[in-house]
Chain A
Amino acid sequence: MLSEIRQSPNPTQNVYAPAYIRPTYDGGGATGNDTNNIAFSLNIPLTAAAINSQLNLGRNSGSNESDNFWVVYVQIGYQGDLPQDIVPATEPATAGATTQFGSVDDVTSSAGVVTGGQGSLVFIESSRDGDLTIMIGDDFKVRTGPHEVGHQFGLRGDAPGFGIMSQSGSGGEPLRFVDRHLNVLRWRIKSPGQP
C-alpha cells in the first residue's frame, strides 16, 4: 500500500523525493497516534460526512501540524461504497478516497496552492479484488496510497496524462509525479489540509 512512499530520498523508493519531500512514519509527531483498533466497517459510503467521520476515528495528530511539520493521514479500510466494491464483478472498484478542499494541476506561486485534504482512506479489499477482477496487475495496491496522499496535497489529476495522479486502469500511467504536479508540491508552505 505504501511501497512507493518509503522513508527515503531515493525516487525509486519514494515518489515524493523529486519534490524534496521525504516521509517519516512517526504517527504525526507521536507514535502513540498510530492506531490499530478502529472498529471494522465493511463499507464506507462515498459521502463527505461518512469519510470524514471515519477518518476522525483515528486521526489524532491534527494539533501537531504546522508550516514546519507537515502531517498526512492514511487509514487503511476494507471496502469503499457498497455500489463500488466490485461485488458483483460488474461494479466499479473504488480503492481509495480523499475529501479535498480544492485541487489544482498548476500554480505559479505558493498563493495558488490549495488547502487540500486532512486524510485518505485506502481500501485494502477493494484494491485486491479490483486488481484481480479488472486485471490491472497490482496497480490499485501500489498506486492508491501515494495517489490519495497527492490529493491531500491538493493535486487534481484523475485523468490520463497525470502519471501517478491518473486513476488506476487508465492505461499504464507511470508511477511518478508529472512536472506540473511536482511544481505544485514544491510551492506548498502549509501542511496538507491546513488553510
Chain B
Amino acid sequence: MKEKPRSITAMTVLLVLLVVSTVLYGLAQEPSVPHSMNFSKLTLKIRSTKEDFVELEPIPIVFNLRNETDQTIVGHSALELSNNFVKLFMIDDKGEIHEIQNLSPITANTAVAPREISPGENLESKQALAFYLDQSFPRPGNYRIQAKLYDASWTNEIKSNVLTIRVHAPDGQTLQALKYIKNLGASSYFFSGVGFASKEQERAALEDFIANFGETVYGDYATFSLGELYFYDKKYKKAGKRFSLLERKADFVFGDKAKHYLERLRRENTISAETP
C-alpha cells in the first residue's frame, strides 16, 4: 500500500529534474544562438593590392566579411561577384552613387544557405575587375569604390569602406601594350575570358601579347588567363608552365589560385594524361 505514493514521489522528482535541466540547458545555450537579424552588424571591408593602376589594368579587389561582435551572426559566403550578392558602386565627385555594371563576364543563379559566422571569424574572396574597364574606369583619374553585400533574402545590406584607386595614362612599353589591346578592339574584355570569336583566337592573342608585353603590368593577367585556357583545354604541361611563373608572386592577386592549379596538377599527375 505504501509503494504507490513512493513511486508518485519519485516520478514527480524526476519530472522536476527534467524541467530544471531543460531550463538550465536552454540558458546555457542562449549565448551561442545565432542572431540572424544582425546581418547588418557584420563588417565588410574591401581593399586592393595597390592604389595606382594604368588604363585597362585589371583591378584586384579583396572582399573581407568579418564578425567583429561577440555573438555568432548568420550570414553567408557568396562573396564572388558572379553570385550577384555583392554589388560595387562608384562614388562620383558630387557624392552621387552609381552601380558599376558588368562586373563579371559570368553570372550565376545562386541562392545562399545560412552560414553561422563566429565572433572574430573572417570570410575572404580575392577577385579582379577585368571586364568593361574601358567603361567603368574610362580615363585617368581618381575613382572611389564602395561595395554592398546583401543577405540571403535581399532585405538587409552591409556597406563597405570606400576604396580609392588612381588610374594613370601609361607610357613606354606599357603604352604600346595598351595600344595593342585597343587595336584588337578588345578594350572591354582582353583579360576577362570572354569576347574573343574563338578560344584559338584568344589563345593566339594572349601568346602574342605575352611575348611582346609580358614584362608590363598587364603581363601576369595575360599569363594567368592563358594558363586557365590551357588547363581547361587539358594542355596541362603548358598550363603548368604558365602557373609556375605566378605561384610565388605574393603581390599578384591570383598567385594563390595559380598555386592551387599547380597543386592539382601535381596531385592528380595530370601532366602525363595531357591531350596531344
* Residues on A facing B (Cβ under 8 Å): 46-54, 56, 80, 83-84, 86, 89-103, 130, 133-134, 136, 139-140, 143-144, 147-148, 151, 156, 158-160, 167-171
Query: 1/0 per position for B183-226, CB-CB distance to A under 8 A?
Result: 00000110011110001000000000000000000000000010
A46 and B193 form a contact (CB under 8 A): no
In this complex, how many residues of chain B approach chain A with their Cβ under 8 Å: the count is 40
B109 and A168 form a contact (CB under 8 A): yes
B153 and A170 form a contact (CB under 8 A): yes
Interface set, chain B 58-103, CB cutoff 8 A to A: 76-78, 80, 82-84, 87, 101-102
B232 and A93 form a contact (CB under 8 A): no
Which of B112, B153, B189 lies at the interface centre, i.e. has the most chain A CB atoms within 10 A of its CB?
B112
Give the secondary structure class of B's interface.
Answer: loop
> Complex: how many Å from CA A144 to CA B233?
27
Is B33 at the interface (CB under 8 A from chain A)?
no
A46 and B106 form a contact (CB under 8 A): yes
> Complex: how many Å from CA A127 to CA B76?
18
Is B19 at the interface (CB under 8 A from chain A)?
no
Closest 7 CB pairs of A and B: A48-B193, A169-B111, A53-B232, A49-B228, A158-B84, A92-B78, A90-B115
Nearest CB on B from A30, distance (A): 21
Is B138 at the interface (CB under 8 A from chain A)?
no
A171 and B153 form a contact (CB under 8 A): yes
Given the interface pairs A49-B193, A91-B77, A159-B154, the reply to whether A169 lies near B112 with Cβ below 8 Å is yes
Is B8 at the interface (CB under 8 A from chain A)?
no
A52 contact set on B, CB distance < 8 A: 193-194, 199, 232
Nearest CB on A from B103, distance (A): 10
> Complex: how many Å from CA A158 to CA B86?
11
Given the interface pairs A46-B80, A103-B101, the reply to whether A94 lies near B199 with Cβ below 8 Å is no
13 A-B pairs with C-beta separation under 8 A: A47-B232, A52-B199, A84-B83, A91-B113, A94-B109, A99-B106, A101-B105, A151-B107, A156-B101, A160-B154, A167-B111, A169-B111, A170-B153
Choose from B82, B112, B189 the contact partner of A46 (Cβ within 8 Å).
B82
Besides the known contacts A46-B108, A169-B111, 11 further A-B residue pairs in the complex with CB atoms under 8 A apart: A46-B80, A52-B194, A90-B114, A93-B111, A95-B109, A97-B82, A100-B106, A133-B113, A169-B153, A170-B153, A171-B155
* Residues on B facing A (Cβ under 8 Å): 76-78, 80, 82-84, 87, 101-102, 105-116, 132, 152-155, 188-189, 192-195, 199, 225, 228-229, 231-233
B84 and A101 form a contact (CB under 8 A): no
- Tally of A-B residue pairs with Cβ under 8 A? 135
B76 and A97 form a contact (CB under 8 A): no
A95 contact set on B, CB distance < 8 A: 109-111
A100 and B107 form a contact (CB under 8 A): yes
- Closest chain B residue to A88 by CB distance? B113
Nearest CB on A from B75, distance (A): 10
- Closest chain B residue to A83 by CB distance? B77
A47 and B106 form a contact (CB under 8 A): yes
Given the interface pairs A90-B116, A97-B106, the reply to whether A48 lies near B192 with Cβ below 8 Å is yes
B155 contact set on A, CB distance < 8 A: 171
- Closest chain B residue to A103 by CB distance? B102
> Complex: how many Å from CA A102 to CA B82?
13
Choose from A46, A49, A158 the contact partner of B231 (Cβ within 8 Å).
A49
Given the interface pairs A140-B111, A167-B109, the reply to whether A94 lies near B101 with Cβ below 8 Å is no
B199 contact set on A, CB distance < 8 A: 52-53, 56
